[in-house]
Amino acid sequence: MYQVIARKYRPQTFAELVGQEHVRATLENAIAQRRIAHGYIFSGQRGTGKTTVARILARCLNCVQGPTTAPCGVCASCKEIAAGSSVDVIEIDAASNRGINEMRELRENVRYRPARDRYKVFIIDEAHQITSEAFNALLKTLEEPPEWVIFVLCTTEAHKIPATISSRCQHFSFRSVEFEDVVRRMEWICQQEGVRADAESLAVLAQAGDGSVRDSLSALDQAIACCGQELKAEEVRALLGLFSLEILHQVTEALAASDSRKMLEIVAALEREGYNLQHFCRELARYFRNLLVAKIAGADSRLIAATGQERKRLAEISAGFSEQDLARYLQLALDLYGDLQRSTQIRLHTELGLLRMVEAGRLMPIEEALAQLGGGAPPAPERPKAKAGLKTGVPAAAPHASGSGAAQSPAQGTAQGTAQG
């Protein structure tokens, strides 16, 4: 039977877990010292392993050899928990079972000892969806929990869990998984599946998941279904509707050359190739964000998800712009993306947005010149020399206008927002 990759390779032990070392270490200690809490809250972005860890915890506690940090994997408990069929490990999707009646049933169930295993583990997914009456019912159980009961509340929105509940639980926040960890995991899975994949296509798939292992693995499934046993970056990009970096690089080239006509040609080419312009603008914003981060923190920063080759390119390109330029381009790209959400004239708005960027590039040197005339602006850090022969080039010593300096902070705030979201 065909099984999707995310399920087939779902980690069954802490050793197989991708990322979340802090969660793993604390839980392993708790198990080793037999200090098991009755309530846990696992919070974090989707696809970061909350339910997976809840199941691993259940296995550690209920394995015939347990409680142990290394469940055997062959006893009935281990096998049933992996298959989701254990009587004593109950998974509840709170999105569809959120009411008081379900919670009353649960309270009934809690009173009885486990059928076979050491603990009864209740894994409640999307726990923030539970109604307040139902939370009250749950609270009564958490106040005086039978010794055999363990609740694991998994949620993407921990702030919606009432304080009365969370104060009786141990809280673990799951981080979005590092780009390199996702790539390494996919490399290993491809080996197991006999799939050849170049580094760039794995990078593209990892980026598509945006910190969610599950989303990256779904994309990998899709790529294998479509491209077969050999994944190539170009095909994977096309499949996911992503843009080759070349198109994005063309935008920065047009900006560096202050070339409005080239911008229009880029939009025309995108339309001709049938690309979605809204996706393009989102990718463009992400691209400027990466250039800005490369400028501020260096292209090898962990804040950027990219292959070695892409990083080199980002470093080269960001060197041709100042931090202020890049922050402003990012702001304009985000504005454009926002405009497109409401637009009925997508192409015209895209053209206008890109022309505005060229315009902004032209204005910045003028502002700087004006500031120099006024003489009021404090000296700013040196602006890097633009590529030789470009119209936007200004003398390296030209100080910045106070105006462009002031525009910088909100744009940077947005940059960080994008990085996290």
Give the interface with Zn ion as residue ranges (CB under 5 A). Answer: 63, 71-72, 75, 78
CA distances (Å), origin 229, targets 237, 238, 263, 383: 16, 17, 38, 48
Tokens of 363: 């204005």
With tokens 């015209």, the residue in question is: 348
Nearest CB to Zn ion, comparing residues 63 and 152 = 63
What's 270-322 look like in SS3? Answer: HHHCCCCHHHHHHHHHHHHHHHHHHHHHCCCCCCCCCCHHHHHHHHHHHHCCC
Q: Which H helix or E strand runs over 48?
A: none
User: In the beta sheet, which residues pair with residue 154?
Assistant: 42
Nearest CB to Zn ion, comparing residues 55 and 237 = 55
Q: How far is the CB of 31 from Zn ion (least distance, A)?
A: 13
Angle, helices 233-240/213-227, rounded to nearest 10 degrees: 110
Nearest CB to Zn ion, comparing residues 58 and 334 = 58
Nearest CB to Zn ion, comparing residues 117 and 210 = 117
Nearest CB to Zn ion, comparing residues 120 and 214 = 120
Q: Is 237 helix (H, G, I), strand (E, B) or coil?
A: helix
Q: How far is the CB of 216 from Zn ion (least distance, A)?
A: 29
Q: Is 382 helix (H, G, I), strand (E, B) or coil?
A: coil
Tokens of 68: 């142990």
Q: How far is the CB of 75 from Zn ion (least distance, A)?
A: 3
CB 384 within 8 A of CB 317: no
Q: Which backbone phi and psi does 173 adopt, to 5 degrees?
A: -100, 125
Q: How far is the CB of 323 from Zn ion (least distance, A)?
A: 55
CB 216 within 8 A of CB 52: no
Nearest CB to Zn ion, comparing residues 63 and 256 = 63
Evaluate the omega torsion of the peptide bond into residue 145 and state whether it is cis, within 30 degrees of 0.
no
Q: How far is the CB of 133 from Zn ion (least distance, A)?
A: 38
Q: How far is the CB of 69 from Zn ion (least distance, A)?
A: 12
Nearest CB to Zn ion, comparing residues 78 and 203 = 78
Q: How far is the CB of 181 from Zn ion (least distance, A)?
A: 27
Tokens of 316: 């080269």
